[in-house]
Amino acid sequence: MSQNISLWGATYSDVPSVVLPKSGGGTASFTDVTDTTAVASDVLSGKYFYLADGTKTAGTGTGGGGGGSVTQDQDGFIILPPTGGSTPSGGLEYETGTWTPNSDTTSTTISFMDTHTNPPMSITFYDATGTTDAPSGSCFGFSWIDFYQVGGQAMVASSSSTEWARAVCIAKTSDTAITVWTYPVNYPYSNTSSSSSTYYRYWVTESNFKPYANNASRYWRSGRTYKWIAVWAPTT
C-alpha cells in the first residue's frame, strides 16, 4: 500500500517501497505491507509471509487439488495462484477420453483410469469427427443419467415404474433422419445382474461403461473419433 512519506524536510507521495543503502555495500528493499489481508491458513505450510503489522508469519495451509497456494514475493506483495487455489472438498470428480475404433462395432467397453467406489452419475459420449458423411445406421451419441445419484432417490414414473437411471442413444437411421432411443433402468447399481438393458450394470459399472445402441444394426464407425466425459456425484 502506497504511503506519503516525509524525509529530511522533503515529502514524497504514494511511496509503495524504499530501497536504502546497506552498511558495507549493497541495498535493502523495504515494502509497506499494511494492506495485507492473508492469514496463515491462506498460505501453504512451510512458506512465510508478512501480516499487515509487519509480523513475519508461517503459513499453515495444506493446499491440495493441484491448485497452488497463496505466497508472498520478496517485495511483500501477495501472489495468488493462477489456477484459483485448491479444489474444495467434495467437488465433482470426472474423467475424459477419446476413442477411435479400428472397425465398425455395435458396442465397446470404455475403462476408467482411476479407481472409483461408485459408478458415474453422468456420461456423455459423442461423435466428435465433425463431418456428415457417416452412413445410415451410424451411432452419433450415448448418454447416461443416474437419477438416484443426482437427487438421492429413484424417479417414480408411475405406480408401476421406478427408474434408477436411463440410457440414451442417438443414431442416424437414414441420410436425413436422426432417431433417439431411451432405455429405462429399473434396478439400482447395487444389483449385480447385467443380463438386460433394465439392469444398471448392463451399461455402467465402477470401472467402465458400454456405449451401446442396444441394436445389432447401429454402429460406431471405424476411423471416426468419439469423445466422452464421465462425472461422479460429490461425496459430501
Sorted by sequence, the CB contacts under 8 Å of residue 66 that are 6+ apart come out as 83, 86, 87
Name the helix (H) or strand (E) containing 37: none
Task: Specify the 3-state DSSP secondary structure of 200.
Answer: helix
Q: Give residue 21's pLDDT band: very low, low, confident or very high (50, 70, 90).
A: confident
Q: Give residue 170's pLDDT band: very low, low, confident or very high (50, 70, 90).
A: very high
Higher per-residue pLDDT: 186 or 74 = 186
Statement: residue 109 has pLDDT above 80 = yes
Which regions of the chain does DSSP assign to beta strands (E)?
Answer: 3-7, 10-15, 17-21, 27-31, 48-50, 56-58, 71-72, 78-79, 93-99, 110-111, 122-127, 139-146, 155-158, 161-163, 165-172, 178-185, 208-209, 226-232
Q: How far apart are CA 89 and CA 171, in angstroms?
A: 39
- Average pLDDT over the chain, rounded to an integer: 82
Statement: residue 201 has pLDDT above 90 = yes
* Count of Cβ atoms closer than 10 Å to residue 224 Cβ: 21
Statement: residue 185 has pLDDT above 90 = yes
Phi-psi region of 136 (alpha: psi -120 to 50; beta: other; left: phi over 0): beta
pLDDT of residue 59: 78
Q: How far apart are CA 111 and CA 207, in angstroms?
A: 6
The DSSP symbol for 193 reads -
